[in-house]
Amino acid sequence: MQQAPTISVVITTYNRPDALQAVVEACFGQDDKNFEIIIADDGSTANTKDCIDSLKLRSPVPLHHVWQPDEGFRAAMARNRGTLAAAGEYIVFIDGDCIPQRDFISQHRKLARRGYLVSGSRVLLSPAFTARVLAEGIDLQQADAGDKLAYRFRGHINKVAQLLLRWPDIWRHRRRFSWRRIKSCNLAVWKSDLELVNGFDESFTGWGHEDSDLVVRLFNAGVMRKDGAFATEVFHLWHREATRDQESSNKKLVVMRAKDGTVRAARGLAEHG
């Protein structure tokens, strides 16, 4: 039987301390507390640091803050810095606006298997419900089946079946590459596999597809995918979409790498020395 991995949860954030607090609080409420939290901060101001310092005082698990200067959208670098700071052998990436369910860590631990990454899924919250969750401190982990059905009926969330059902670890493996459900807001990868491909590629500029690029290169290196749907869902708080002026050129690069078999990032973990 495969030994359970040590887990590091890397949470990316940028100037949204109210959402970050909701996410970290949900991490505190996990039914499996054998993990650490690394907050990978892409240049937030003092408000976020103050929030994190307050959370550290009552954290039931190790919590670390890794910060870099604000020089534009550099999520790839933030995630790499988070990876380098992580003590765990298995890295679960989520975003600072994605609230995990209570069994998020335990489900990811069940699905962890050498030679595979796990791409999880998300449940989108409406703008109005997001505002209520943050303003009123609504604990989504306490929602029962009736609450979740009501959220869906009222249009507060975009799907509900994935929150009500848990699918066992069968028929999750993907032998062929698929572009579907590649989201670094819920992605679990062995640290050794990240090191093999040199992590996220920091040469990507602006928003878009640095997560797809990672999964493509991992696939080229022989790392297969498991689908984390109906097991690892997170509640994704609404936010305005980032500027996507570089999306087209970024996607072209990923498609090219899928064809030419690129494995290592042009600028990634190794460049941090």
Backbone angles phi, psi at 6, to 5 degrees: -80, 135
Residue % of the chain over a pLDDT of 70? 95
Q: Give CA angle at 147 (146, 149), nearest 5°.
A: 65
Q: In the predicted model, is pLDDT for residue 245 greater than 60?
A: no
- DSSP annotation of 70 reads -
pLDDT of residue 4: 74
Note the pLDDT of residue 249.
Answer: 77
- pLDDT tens by residue, 119-129: 999 999 999 99
Q: Do 13 and 96 form a contact (C-beta atoms < 8 A)?
A: yes
240: left (phi over 0), alpha (psi -120 to 50) or beta: beta
Average pLDDT over residues 197-219: 89
Residue 181 has pLDDT above 90, yes or no: no
Measure the CA dihedral 230/167/154/125, to 10°: -10
Predicted local distance difference test score (pLDDT) of residue 151: 97
Structure token digits, residue 254: 């990923």
pLDDT per residue over 26-46, tens digit each? 999 999 999 999 999 999 999
Domain boundaries, given as residue ranges, for the chain: 7-202+223-241
Residue 135 pLDDT > 50, yes or no?
yes
Rounded mean pLDDT of 249-269?
91
Contacts for 53-62: CB closer than 8 Å, 24+ residues apart: 55/21, 55/24, 55/25, 58/28, 59/24, 59/28, 60/28, 60/33, 61/27, 61/28, 61/33, 61/35, 61/36, 61/37, 62/36, 62/37, 62/87
Instruction: Give pLDDT, residue 243.
Output: 56
Spatial CA neighbour of 214 closest among 93, 96, 102 = 93
- Pairing state between β 98-100 and 186-190: unpaired
Whether the per-residue pLDDT at 246 is higher than 90: the answer is no
Spatial contact of 118 and 232, defined as CB atoms under 8 Å apart = yes
Q: What is the mean pLDDT of residues 247-252?
A: 77
From the list 23, 6, 14, the residue with the least C-alpha distance to 234 is 23
Asked if residue 22 has pLDDT above 70, the reply is yes
Residue bearing the bigger pLDDT, 164 or 175: 164
Q: Express each pLDDT in 42-61 by its tens digit.
A: 999 999 999 999 999 999 99
How confident is the model over 86-103, as pLDDT tens digits? 999 999 999 999 999 999
- pLDDT value at residue 189: 97
Q: Which residues contact 76 (CB under 8 A, 6 or more apart)?
A: 199, 200, 201, 202, 204, 210, 268
Q: Which of 134, 104, 135, 132 is nearest to 120 (CA)?
A: 104
CATH superfamily of 7-202+223-241: Spore Coat Polysaccharide Biosynthesis Protein SpsA; Chain A (3.90.550.10)
Provide the token pair at 39.
């907050």
Quick one: how many helices (H) and strands (E) in the chain?
10, 11
The more confidently predicted of residues 24 and 243 is 24
In the prediction, which pLDDT does 1 show? 44
The residue type found at 244 is: R
Q: What is the DSSP string of 168-230?
A: -SSS-EESS---TT--TTEEEEEHHHHHHTTSS-TT--SSS-HHHHHHHHHHHTT-EEEE-TT
Straight-line distance from the first to the last Cα atom of the chain, in angstroms, rounded to the nearest whole number: 35
Rg (alpha carbons) of the chain, rounded to whole number: 18
Q: Whole-number mean pLDDT of the chain?
A: 93
